[in-house]
Structure 1
């Protein structure tokens, strides 16, 4: 597998983002994650977006981080928020999420961010297991879904 940085609006990123939105809609109903995101949020040095390609150069996994600071939604100054972590079904259970997560954490650390935060939900137990086994702990809720009962927010210090 090859993991490479791409722009958030790259065609392969758009393809995988559409797939993850479909998965969110299947699990939770509705239209998927409605968090407002713009391509510039994932541009270095204040963010990064990665895609993993398989041996046939097909995009199979993605993840990104964006810089967030205190803004009234319970973010803290110095946060890096993990977004759009996703692996297509046929490429799961190969360690891709862990590899992408480690690369994103290191990049955010190098960019001076203080902690990595993420929001997931109770209908994604495999995501919660990944983050908990990677050193993330539950934290105060933040972001668009901070008032939703099925939302779970996690944080991990980067320093």
Structure 2
């Protein structure tokens, strides 16, 4: 069973996992900066979580507030060695629990068209496809989802 901890956005484990995610996305999309809009930072990420399996960082994800009752899930990532082990569900459950405890009523997120595994995951976890929002409106590579909490 993974252990999920809330950690600072700039924590060493968070930084390592986000760098691995960036490298994987660069390989999939052929660019080092595939994010439309402003990248998340320590200044605007409300909460960030890292999942550990046998003491090793295995996955992460965080929230950036969009309004008093809505937040965007940012930087969801699981290391290839830990995929299919429940890490992503554990991180998402921690994010959703934090959202509910914080009074949020809706979570939104963006993933990419070249990430069918992510799309299947979010749909399986109750997220519904929505029109692209915010910085993703004109992005042909973006697919957006939402879930009421």
Q: Same fold (TM over 0.5)?
A: yes
- Counterpart CA distance in 1 for 2:90 and 2:52 is 13
- Aligned equivalent of 1:13: 14
Aligned length, in residue pairs: 146
CA separation of 1:33/1:78 partners in 2, compared to 1, >3 Å: closer, same or farther? farther
SS at match of 1:40: coil
Give the C-alpha shift of residue 33 in structure 1. Answer: 4.2
- Counterpart CA distance in 1 for 2:125 and 2:101 is 19
Aligned equivalent of 2:65, options 64, 67, 83? 67
Q: Structure 1: which 5+ residue stretches go unaligned?
A: 70-76
Question: TM-score if structure 1 supplies the norm length?
Answer: 0.86
Root mean square deviation of aligned Cα: 1.4
Q: What does the per-residue CA deviation read over 1:73-94, in whole Å, with 9 as the maximum and x for residues that have no partner?
A: xxxx621110111011111110
- Counterpart CA distance in 1 for 2:134 and 2:91 is 22
- Counterpart CA distance in 2 for 1:87 and 1:32 is 19
Is 1:39 aligned to 2:42, yes or no?
Answer: yes
Is 1:25 aligned to 2:26, yes or no?
Answer: yes
